[in-house]
Amino acid sequence: DGGITQSPKYLFRKEGQNVTLSCEQNLNHDAMYWYRQDPGQGLRLIYYSQIVNDFQKGDIAEGYSVSREKKESFPLTVTSAQKNPTAFYLCASSLGVGSTDTQYFGPGTRLTVL
Amino acid sequence: LAKTTQPISMDSYEGQEVNITCSHNNIATNDYITWYQQFPSQGPRFIIQGYKTKVTNEVASLFIPADRKSSTLSLPRVSLSDTAVYYCLVGDGVFNKFYFGSGTKLNVKP
């Protein structure tokens, strides 16, 4: 069954701790993305990756880090430098990053920093 | 950056046709227009994509005028389950990044 998985669905962390969110896809897509969504707001791009071992900053990359060691995986680390990390995090993938490349989204991870 | 502007919210009743318009004045020549649907606490889902004129699939139609500075998503005979946020998306045109605006919250009433 193809798709994108994110784990965990809910995550709680204490302030000052780094936390890593998982994103895995078996769609054989080259491109992967991370978005952040705050309540009642749209999606904001954090990082995206066009190919393995390459990634680019999005609009709100400060306080976040990513890696792309495998085509299937694009984990996101929320560091203690992120001022307000509590949000809904969405991972997506697409064949490429062109305008016609449909993005397929995972179910999301809701992160709450206590 | 090819940003988009949409109405914040719309109300409709079951069985009506709903038209949501998106403005994208800075769309680039090679950009396509894509619409997504998002339910609460879920990831967005692809609805339809087009470049010019009209595109229709089993769930919606997309109308794009000749100047491509706007587009209209048309949902025929909506039901309560169509209550969601709808996003209009265009490519950056330079870096191929995507910009999700704040979307339009559609509320379908019985």
Answer yes or no: is pLDDT of B94 > 60.
no
Contact A45 B98 (CB under 8 A): yes
**pLDDT (mean) for B31-45:** 92
Residue A38 main-chain phi, psi, to 5 deg: -95, 155
Q: Which residues of B touch A48 (CB under 8 A)?
A: 97
Whether B3 is covered by a domain: the verdict is no
pLDDT of residue A41: 87
Number of domains in chain B: 1
- Pick B19 or B31 by higher pLDDT: B19
Whether B4 is covered by a domain: the verdict is no
Q: Between β-strands A109-113 and A10-13, what pairing exists: parallel, antiparallel or unpaired?
A: parallel
Confidence of residue B96 (pLDDT cuts 50, 70, 90): low
Answer yes or no: is pLDDT of B69 > 90.
yes
How far is B73 from B63, CA to CA, in rounded Å? 7
pLDDT of residue B72: 97
Whether B2 is covered by a domain: the verdict is no
pLDDT of residue A1: 53
How far is A114 from A99, CA to CA, in rounded Å? 38
How far is B97 from A65, CA to CA, in rounded Å? 18
- The segments of chain A whose pLDDT lies below 50 read none
**pLDDT (mean) for B6-30:** 93
Q: Which domain holds residue B18?
A: 9-109
pLDDT of residue B57: 96
Whether B43 is covered by a domain: the verdict is yes
> Which two structure tokens, joined as six digits, stand for B30?
């090679």
Contact B96 A92 (CB under 8 A): no
A102 to chain B: closest CA residue? B46
Q: Give the CATH number, domain containing residue B14.
A: 2.60.40.10
Answer yes or no: is pLDDT of B1 > 60.
no
> Which two structure tokens, joined as six digits, stand for B73?
């998503």
Answer yes or no: is pLDDT of B99 > 80.
no
> Which two structure tokens, joined as six digits, stand for A80?
């203690």
Confidence of residue B79 (pLDDT cuts 50, 70, 90): very high
